[in-house]
C-alpha cells in the first residue's frame, strides 16, 4: 500500500495557441519531471479526478460527482481518443465504499470524457491505456456546483478506499487554476445551445465540433492581446491556493463559496476541486510532503498553469 500524487492544469489549447518557445520548454521540463517521478513510483492503479466541459456530462442529469466503471475519451482538440482501461470490479468497489462512507457519488457504466481526463493520461503516463485507471468526475462548470468541502470529503473517502488496496496508487488531479474560457452557460444561451447543454451535445456533428473548438482558439488569441477580454487570470489567488495545498490546509477552502471563487478567479477555477479531492485522498495515507511546485500564468492556454506533486511523509523520508 503506497501512494503518490500529481496535480496539473490542463488546457486543450496546448499545440493550438502556444506561448513563446522558452516558456513551452520550461513547461515541457516540468511535465517530463512529473512523468519521470511517476514512472519511478510505477503505479499499479491511477485514480484520476477531472472535470468535463459539456462533452460527457449534461443538464439532462448532472451529478456533482461520478465514478466511472468504464470510460472512453472523445479526442476533442486533438487529444487522445479511445477507451480507458478501467478495472470494473475495483471501480464498483470504490463507488460502494464511497457511498457507504457518506458521499453520494453517481456511477457511470459508460462514461464519456474529454481533454480533462485524456490530457493528463497522455502527458504523465504516455497514453490512455498505460495503467488501470478509475475516472472520477467532479462537476466544475455546470451550476449549481458542489462545494470545496464536498470535494474534500469525496477525496478523503476515496483515499480511505485506496488505503485498503495492496497496490501502488497514483492520485491525479486535472484542471485549474484561475481561468475562465468561453464555456456556455445554460442561463445565457439561445434555445439551440440550451438543447446542446441538455444532452444533444453528447454527439456533436463534425462541423459544430470544429466551430466550437475554433471559438475557444479565437478567444485565446484575443486573450493574449487583451487580458480583460475574458475574466483575468489571478496569480495571487493561484499562489494562495498552492500554499494551502502545500501546507496541508485545504480545509480552509471549505468556507469559500462558489460565487466568491468565480468572482475572484474565474468561472472555470472550480476545476481546482479536482486538486482538493486528490490531496484529500492522499491525506488518508497520513501527513504528506508536497514537492516540485510550479506556477506560471499562461494566457495562450487561458490558464493559471500549476503543477504540484506530493507523497506521504513516511515515503519522502525513505527516498
Ligand atoms: O472549451 C472547452 O472545452 C474547454 C476549454 C479550456 C480552455 C482553457 C483551460 C481549460 O481548462 C479548458 O478546459
Ligand atoms: Fe478545463
Which ligand 1 atom sits closest to the C-alpha of 216? 1
Ligand nearest to the backbone CA of 182:
1
pLDDT of 71 higher than 90: yes
For 241-273, write each residue's pLDDT tens digit: 999 999 999 999 999 999 999 999 999 999 999
Evaluate the omega torsion of the peptide bond into residue 159 and state whether it is cis, within 30 degrees of 0: no
pLDDT of 30 higher than 80: yes
Q: What is the set of domains in the chain, with CATH numbers? A: 2-318 (3.40.830.10)
For 290-308, write each residue's pLDDT tens digit: 999 999 999 999 999 999 9
pLDDT bin (cut points 50, 70, 90) of residue 1 is low
Q: Go through the chain and tell me how many residues it has.
A: 319
**Mean predicted lDDT score pLDDT of the chain:** 97
Q: What is the pLDDT of residue 111?
A: 98
pLDDT of 49 higher than 60: yes
Q: Residue 110 Cα, ligand 1 centroid: separation in angstroms? A: 22
Which ligand 1 atom sits closest to the C-alpha of 215? 1
Q: What is the pLDDT of residue 314?
A: 79
pLDDT of 142 higher than 90: yes
Does the annotation mark 40 as catalytic? no
Q: Which residues approach ligand 1 with their CB closer than 6 A?
A: 10-13, 53, 175, 179, 181, 183, 216, 268, 271, 301-303
Annotated catalytic residue within 6, 179, 231, 270: 179
**Rounded Cα gap, residues 308 and 31, in angstroms:** 10
Q: Calculate mean pLDDT across residues 66-89.
A: 98
User: What is the share, in percent, of the chain residues with pLDDT greater than 70?
Assistant: 98
For 121-133, write each residue's pLDDT tens digit: 999 999 999 999 9
Per-residue 3-state assignment (H helix, E strand, C coil) for the chain: CEEEEEEECCCCCCCCCCCCHHHHHHHHHHHHHHHHHHHHHCCCEEEEEECCCCCCCCCCCCCCEEEECCEEEECHHHCCEEEECCCHHHHHHHHHHHHHCCCCCEEECCEEECHHHHHHHHHHHCCCCCCCEEEEEECCCCCCCCCHHHHHHHHHHHHHHHHCCCCEEEEEEECCCCCCCCCCCHHHCCHHHHHHHCCHHHHCCHHHHHHHHHHHHHHHHHHHHCCCCCCCCCHHHHHHHHHHHHCCCHHHHHHCCHHHHHHHHCCCHHHHHHHHHHHHHHHCCCCEEEEEEEEEEEHHHCEEEEEEEEEEHHHHHHC
Does the annotation mark 179 as catalytic? yes
Amino acid at each position: 500500500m503506497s501512494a503518490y500524487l500529481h496535480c496539473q492544469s490542463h488546457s486543450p489549447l496546448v499545440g493550438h495557441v502556444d506561448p513563446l518557445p522558452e516558456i513551452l520548454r520550461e513547461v515541457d521540463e516540468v511535465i517530463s519531471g512529473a512523468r519521470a517521478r511517476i514512472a519511478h513510483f510505477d503505479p499499479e492503479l491511477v485514480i484520476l479526478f477531472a472535470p468535463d466541459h459539456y462533452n460527457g456530462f449534461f443538464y439532462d442529469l448532472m451529478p456533482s460527482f461520478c465514478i466511472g466503471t468504464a470510460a472512453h475519451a472523445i479526442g476533442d482538440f486533438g487529444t487522445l481518443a479511445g477507451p480507458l482501461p478501467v478495472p470494473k470490479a475495483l471501480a464498483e468497489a470504490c463507488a460502494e465504499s464511497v457511498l457507504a462512507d457518506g458521499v453520494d457519488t453517481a456511477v457511470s457504466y459508460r462514461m464519456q470524457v474529454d481533454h480533462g481526463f485524456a490530457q493528463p493520461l497522455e502527458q504523465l503516463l504516455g497514453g490512455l491505456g498505460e495503467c488501470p485507471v478509475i475516472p472520477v468526475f467532479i462537476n466544475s462548470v455546470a451550476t449549481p456546483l458542489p462545494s470545496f468541502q464536498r470535494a474534500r470529503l469525496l477525496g478523503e473517502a476515496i483515499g480511505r478506499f485506496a488505503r485498503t488496496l495492496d497496490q501502488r496508487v497514483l492520485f491525479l488531479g486535472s484542471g485549474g487554476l484561475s481561468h475562465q474560457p468561453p464555456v456556455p452557460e445554460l442561463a445565457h444561451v439561445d434555445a439551440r445551445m440550451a438543447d446542446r447543454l441538455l444532452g444533444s451535445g453528447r454527439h456533436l456533428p463534425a462541423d459544430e465540433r470544429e466551430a466550437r473548438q475554433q471559438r475557444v482558439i479565437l478567444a485565446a488569441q484575443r486573450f493574449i492581446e487583451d487580458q480583460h477580454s475574458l475574466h483575468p487570470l489571478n496569480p495571487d489567488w493561484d499562489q494562495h491556493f498552492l500554499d494551502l495545498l502545500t501546507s496541508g490546509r485545504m480545509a480552509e477552502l471549505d468556507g469559500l463559496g462558489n460565487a466568491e471563487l468565480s468572482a475572484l478567479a474565474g468561472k472555470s477555477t472550480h476545476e481546482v476541486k479536482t486538486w482538493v479531492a486528490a490531496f484529500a485522498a492522499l491525506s488518508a495515507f497520513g501527513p504528506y510532503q508536497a514537492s516540485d511546485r510550479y506556477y506560471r500564468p499562461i494566457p495562450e492556454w487561458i490558464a493559471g498553469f500549476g503543477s504540484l506533486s506530493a507523497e506521504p511523509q513516511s515515503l519522502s523520508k525513505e527516498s
